[in-house]
Amino acid sequence: MDVLSEALASMRTGAPNSVRTDGRAPWGLRLPATAGAGFHVVLHGTCWIYPTENATEPIALGPGDVIFVRDGSGHILVDHPDTPPQIPSPEQYTARPPVGALQIGGDGPATSLLCGNYHLDGQRPHPLLRQLPEVIHLPARHGRHPELAAAIQLLSAELDSPRIGSYGIVPALIDSLLLYILRAWVEEQPRSEAAGWAAALRDPAVAPALEAMHEDPSAGWTVQSLADRSGLSRAAFARKFTSMVGEPPLAYLTRWRLTTAARLLREEDLPVGTVATRTGYSSEFAFSKAFKREYGLAPGQYRRQARAAA
C-alpha cells in the first residue's frame, strides 16, 4: 500500500486547474489565494517569485524549477524583482485545451511557466500535508529527481507542440506532478535529520504499521497487532508512532477510517451500511455517530452536499 498516494487521493476534491503562462519582460503577476495547493513549473526562461503575501525576499527560478505552495496563498511572479506586479484580467486568459493560456508583458526575454492549483480539502487536511513546509522549492539540477525532471520535460514538449493524445496526456502528467513533488521533498530530507511524516514514511517500524492501516482500515487493529508488524514492543512502538505521525496509532486509525469513508461516500454509490463495514465499524449506527461527530453531517447528508458541490 502506497501511503503517500492514498493520503493525497483522500484529499482530492477535483482535477487540477492549470494555465500556460508566457511572459515577455517586463512582466509581473500578482496571484490571489486559491483553495488547495498552488504550483509553478518553469518550462523555459527565468523569473522570480515572492512565494507568500508577506515574503520580502524573492526566490530566483530557472528552467525546470518547481515551486509548491502548500496552502495556495497569494503570491507574486515577476521577470525581475523591480517589476511591479499586476492582477491579470479575465480577458487576458485564453481557453486552449488541454490547459488555459495567459500571455503578458512587453517584447523582452521570454519566460514560459505552467501555473495552477490542486483542489484539496483544506478543512480536514491529512496530517502529512500539514507537516509540509509552507513553500517547497525544488531547483532543477542534473541527476536530481530524474522522474520529476522527465515529467517536466514531457509536459514542456506536449505544451510546445500539442499532437494526437495531448488532451489526455497533459492532465495526467499534471496530476502526477503532485506525487513527484512530494516524493522529491520526502527523499530530500536527510535520514539522520528527518522528522514527522518525512521520517515516518521511511521508518522500518512506523511505515509497515501505516501501510497496514491504509491497506485494510476495516481490520480490528490494536496497538499490539500494529506493534507486532513493527518489530517493537507495544510501548516503544506507540511512542515512536506518536512522535513521528503526531497522534497515537488508534487515533490515526480512526482518522483514516473516517477519511476513507468520506471518500467512498463522495465517489461510490455504496449503501451507508457497506461503507461502515468497509471502514471497520460494527454497525451503521456506530459509523453514523462517529462520522457526524467528525464531519458535522450524517453520512447521507454529506454525500448529497459533496456531490452537489462537485
DSSP 240-301: HHHHHHSS-HHHHHHHHHHHHHHHHHHH----HHHHHHHTT-SSHHHHHHHHHHHHSS-HHH
| Omega of the bond leading into 208 within 30 degrees of 0 (cis) | no
Q: Which of 30-34, 91-95, 98-102, 104-108 has the highest mean pLDDT?
A: 104-108
Segments of 4-56 assigned E as strands: 17-24, 28-31, 37-44, 47-50
**How much is the average pLDDT of 182-207?**
86
Q: In sequence order, what E strands does the chain have?
A: 17-24, 28-31, 37-44, 47-50, 59-61, 66-69, 75-78, 93-94, 100-105, 110-118, 135-138
Question: What pLDDT score was predicted for residue 192?
Answer: 64
User: Any residues with CB less than 8 A from the CB of 46 and at least 6 apart, and which?
Assistant: 60, 61, 62, 63, 79, 109, 111
At 14 the three-state DSSP class reads coil
Kindly state the percentage of the chain with pLDDT values over 90.
75
> Residue 103: what pLDDT?
94
- The rounded distance, in Å, linking the Cα atoms of 138 and 217 is 34
Of 239, 237, 282, 280, nearest in space to 259 by CA? 280
Reported as a single tens digit per residue, the pLDDT across 212-246 is 999 999 999 999 999 999 999 999 999 999 999 99
Residue 193 confidence (pLDDT): 65
pLDDT for the residue 1? 58
What ranges do the domains of the chain cover? 3-188, 199-309
Q: What CATH number was assigned to the domain covering residues 3-188?
A: 2.60.120.280
Nearest to 242 by CA among 257, 252, 227, 255: 252
Q: What is the pLDDT of residue 194?
A: 67
Identify the pLDDT of residue 121.
82
Section 89-117 average pLDDT: 91
Q: Do domains 3-188 and 199-309 have the same CATH topology?
A: no
Question: End-to-end alpha-carbon separation of the chain, Å?
Answer: 28
Q: In 3-state terms, what secondary structure has residue 130?
A: helix
Segment 254-302, tens digit of pLDDT: 999 999 999 999 999 999 999 999 999 999 999 999 999 999 999 999 9
Are residues 152 and 161 in contact, defined by beta-carbon separation less than 8 angstroms? no
For domain 199-309, give the CATH number: 1.10.10.60
DSSP letter (8 states) at residue 83: S
Q: 10 Å Cβ neighbour count for 201?
A: 23
Q: Locate 168 and state its grid cell.
A: 489526455
Each residue's pLDDT tens digit, 150-163: 999 999 999 989 89
Q: Is the entire prediction scored with pTM above 0.95?
A: no
List, in sequence order, every residue forming a beta bridge with 298; answer none if it has no partner: none
Report the candidate in 276, 270, 277, 280 with the shortest Cα–Cα distance to residue 250: 280
